[in-house]
């Protein structure tokens, strides 16, 4: 039986107070409560869709001052005299639904109350005499606890999926793809200027994309302080924008058809992961790198600039391409540089290889999803030669389908010949050849005369390789099928 009020019924004047925080448990749908057959509840007016944040019982003529919004208000109508005003005040207070207890005050739900709830769009629930209000409150709390458990499980699964995606060879796009899948929406990574770096999920309508771009500028302004996140809606689409940490000027934007409990937490996990993945590698001081670049552009000697780049005496140049020839963006290239231990990365454009300048003489290791070509360690004054070595090594790695090829330095028997004499002999022997012909011959010999592999390494047609090698044979006046000739030419080419 519904509880009857005791004590005075006149409400005191409402007190001004800040808006209450969202409850720590997710809301539950009204339909979930109506489905509890043991309660015997029946919706008799208003919409079926509503979300309940809490339960409140009141027999006051105007409970407005004591409502927070989102309540299922339970009442037996003890002081109900003006249903229209009563319902309008509940709607104004933000109540989610009204549960009306039948008996002992009213034998049936008043028709005027039903009409008012229909008019104002407030769900009206009939509570049978045998159902105590406390049983309804207990059922709501149970449903909220179950929803909380489901939310925690969902967030945990999403965290695991995002962490797994961050460990893939394409961490940034993989995280965005997983985030879009978890939230069933669109996830886009933008620069502060609105340039789209990566996107995942179904492409939204143009007006949604424009709204996301505007929202991104809220969290990533150029000068003034900005909030860490912002939300908005456009029709039935929910929009959100999050600034990545580290002062990188990057923004994660989301567009979803619904906003569920736990979405903000899942997005927060993605923001942390993306901030770490997009953060510049800290192996060398950023100010030092900038100073080194300026001095080189102004004509400083490379050897004098080297200490600003970390103090390494020897450097290895690495050229890299993604498996399958996939395009590479600056974030993905930066992740490769971080894996190799360097922040000195040139992302390349238009199919050009990513280039990484790695300090020290540590052995370069293969990287999943990449094909690498590495030079021999070289002094900073010889980086142009090392760059050419790395390019040749990458071509050989692609031709032989190996994850890593290293252009080894001249050693063993070749090292027995004095450097000056070897270079002089090489210049004289190879003088008839242009640079493209010499490079083709070098590649062809390194791949044991394979036409197809040489074509793959040089990214030309195999007939072009045949024509160039034939031209080399004519200009050199040599039989390139002779192993002695090949050996001498290889020795000369290795001096370059």
pLDDT at 84 exceeding the cut of 90: yes
End-to-end Cα separation, the chain, in angstroms: 97
Three-class SS state of 320: strand
pLDDT at 283 exceeding the cut of 50: no
Check if the beta carbon of residue 244 is closer than 8 Å to that of residue 252.
Answer: yes
Quote the pLDDT of residue 414: 54
Range scoring the smallest mean pLDDT among 152-166, 217-231, 394-408:
217-231
pLDDT at 59 exceeding the cut of 90: yes
Residue 217, CA atoms < 13 Å, CB-side half-sphere: 8
Quote the pLDDT of residue 397: 86
Quote the pLDDT of residue 113: 96
Quote the pLDDT of residue 42: 95
Q: How confident is the model at residue 7 (pLDDT cuts 50, 70, 90)?
A: very low
Give the C-alpha separation, 255 to 211, whole Å: 10
Quote the pLDDT of residue 16: 36
Q: Which residues contact 6 (CB under 8 A, 6 or more apart)?
A: none
Q: How do strand 185-190 and strand 378-379 relate by DSSP bridges?
A: unpaired
Query: What ranges in 4-101 are assigned the alpha helix state H?
Result: 30-34, 83-93
Q: What is the mean pLDDT of the chain?
A: 82
pLDDT, greater one: 282 or 408: 408
Render pLDDT for 370-385 as a digit per residue (tens, 0 to 9): 899 998 888 887 888 8
Q: How confident is the model at residue 311 (pLDDT cuts 50, 70, 90)?
A: low
Quote the pLDDT of residue 279: 66
Quote the pLDDT of residue 293: 64
- Of 83, 76, 81, 79, which Cα lies nearest the Cα of 60? 79
Render pLDDT for 431-485 as a digit per residue (tens, 0 to 9): 888 888 888 888 888 888 888 888 888 888 988 888 988 888 888 888 888 888 8
Q: How do strand 97-101 and strand 71-75 relate by DSSP bridges?
A: parallel
pLDDT, greater one: 138 or 22: 138
Q: How far is CA 133 from CA 6, 72, 108, 127, 145, in A?
A: 16, 11, 17, 8, 19
Q: How confident is the model at residue 246 (pLDDT cuts 50, 70, 90)?
A: low
Quote the pLDDT of residue 415: 53
> What are the strands, taking DSSP E only, across 257-369?
314-322, 345-346, 354-359
Check if the beta carbon of residue 380 is closer than 8 Å to that of residue 316.
Answer: no
Quote the pLDDT of residue 15: 37
Q: What are the structural domains, with CATH classification, of the chain?
A: 28-143 (3.40.1390.20), 167-278 (3.30.450.30), 286-408 (no CATH), 413-493 (1.10.10.2840)
Check if the beta carbon of residue 308 is closer than 8 Å to that of residue 288.
Answer: yes
Q: How confident is the model at residue 322 (pLDDT cuts 50, 70, 90)?
A: confident
Render pLDDT for 382-424 as a digit per residue (tens, 0 to 9): 888 888 888 888 888 888 888 888 886 655 555 555 666 666 7
Q: Which residues contact 114 (CB under 8 A, 6 or more apart)?
A: 44, 45, 124
pLDDT at 131 exceeding the cut of 90: yes
- Of 434, 436, 435, 444, which Cα lies nearest the Cα of 489? 444
Q: How confident is the model at residue 114 (pLDDT cuts 50, 70, 90)?
A: very high
Exposed/middle/buried for 433, CB within 10 Å: 0-12, 13-18, 19+? buried
Residue percentage of the chain with pLDDT more than 70: 83
DSSP state of 318: E
Give the C-alpha separation, 244 to 229, whole Å: 9
Quote the pLDDT of residue 277: 80
pLDDT at 350 exceeding the cut of 80: no
pLDDT at 22 exceeding the cut of 70: no
Render pLDDT for 166-220 as a digit per residue (tens, 0 to 9): 888 778 888 999 999 999 999 999 887 778 888 899 888 889 888 888 888 888 7
Q: How confident is the model at residue 2 (pLDDT cuts 50, 70, 90)?
A: very low
Question: Which helix (H) or strand (E) element contains residue 233?
Answer: strand 229-234
């Amino acid at each position: 039986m519904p509880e009857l009020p005791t004590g005075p019924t006149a409400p005191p004047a409402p007190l001004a107070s800040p808006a209450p925080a969202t409850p720590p448990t997710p809301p539950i749908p009204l339909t979930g409560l109506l489905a509890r057959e043991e309660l015997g509840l029946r919706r008799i007016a208003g919409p079926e869709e509503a979300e309940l944040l809490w339960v409140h019982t009141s027999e006051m003529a105007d409970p407005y001052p004591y409502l927070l919004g989102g309540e299922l208000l339970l009442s037996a109508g003890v002081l109900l005299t003006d249903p229209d005003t009563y319902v309008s005040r509940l709607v104004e207070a933000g109540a989610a639904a009204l549960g009306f207890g039948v008996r002992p005050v009213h034998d049936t739900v008043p028709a005027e109350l039903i009409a008012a709830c229909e008019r104002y769009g407030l769900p009206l629930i009939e509570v049978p005499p045998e159902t105590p209000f406390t049983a309804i409150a207990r059922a709501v709390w149970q449903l909220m606890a179950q929803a909380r458990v489901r939310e925690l499980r969902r967030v945990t699964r999403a965290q695991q999926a995002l962490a797994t995606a961050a460990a893939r060879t394409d961490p940034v796009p993989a995280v965005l793809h997983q985030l879009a899948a978890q939230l069933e929406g669109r996830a886009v990574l933008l620069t502060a200027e609105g340039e789209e770096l990566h996107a995942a999920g179904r492409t939204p309508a143009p007006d949604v994309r424009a709204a996301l771009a505007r929202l991104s500028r809220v969290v990533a302004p150029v000068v003034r302080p900005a909030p860490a996140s912002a939300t908005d809606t456009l029709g039935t689409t929910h929009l959100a924008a999050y600034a990545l940490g580290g002062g990188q000027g990057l923004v994660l934007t989301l567009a979803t058809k619904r906003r569920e409990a736990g979405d903000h937490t899942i997005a927060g996990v993605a923001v942390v992961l993306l901030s770490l993945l997009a953060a510049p590698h800290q192996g060398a001081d950023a100010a030092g790198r900038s100073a080194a670049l300026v001095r080189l552009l102004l004509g400083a000697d490379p050897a004098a600039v080297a200490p600003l780049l970390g103090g390494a005496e020897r450097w290895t140049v690495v050229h890299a391409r993604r498996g399958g020839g996939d395009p590479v963006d600056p974030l993905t290239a930066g992740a490769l540089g971080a894996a190799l231990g360097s922040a000195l990365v040139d992302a390349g454009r238009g199919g050009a290889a990513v280039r990484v300048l790695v300090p020290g003489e540590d052995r370069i290791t293969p990287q999943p999803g990449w094909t690498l070509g590495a030079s021999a360690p070289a002094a900073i004054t010889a980086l142009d030669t090392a760059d050419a070595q790395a390019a040749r090594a990458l071509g050989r790695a692609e031709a032989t389908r190996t994850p890593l090829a290293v252009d080894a330095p001249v050693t063993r028997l070749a090292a027995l010949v004095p450097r000056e004499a070897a270079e002089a002999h090489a210049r004289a022997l190879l003088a008839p050849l242009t640079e493209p012909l010499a490079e083709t011959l070098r590649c062809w010999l390194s791949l044991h005369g394979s036409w197809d592999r040489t074509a793959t390494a040089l990214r030309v047609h195999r007939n072009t390789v045949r024509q160039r090698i034939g031209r080399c044979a004519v200009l050199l006046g040599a039989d390139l099928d002779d192993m002695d000739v090949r050996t001498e030419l290889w020795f000369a080419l290795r001096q370059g």
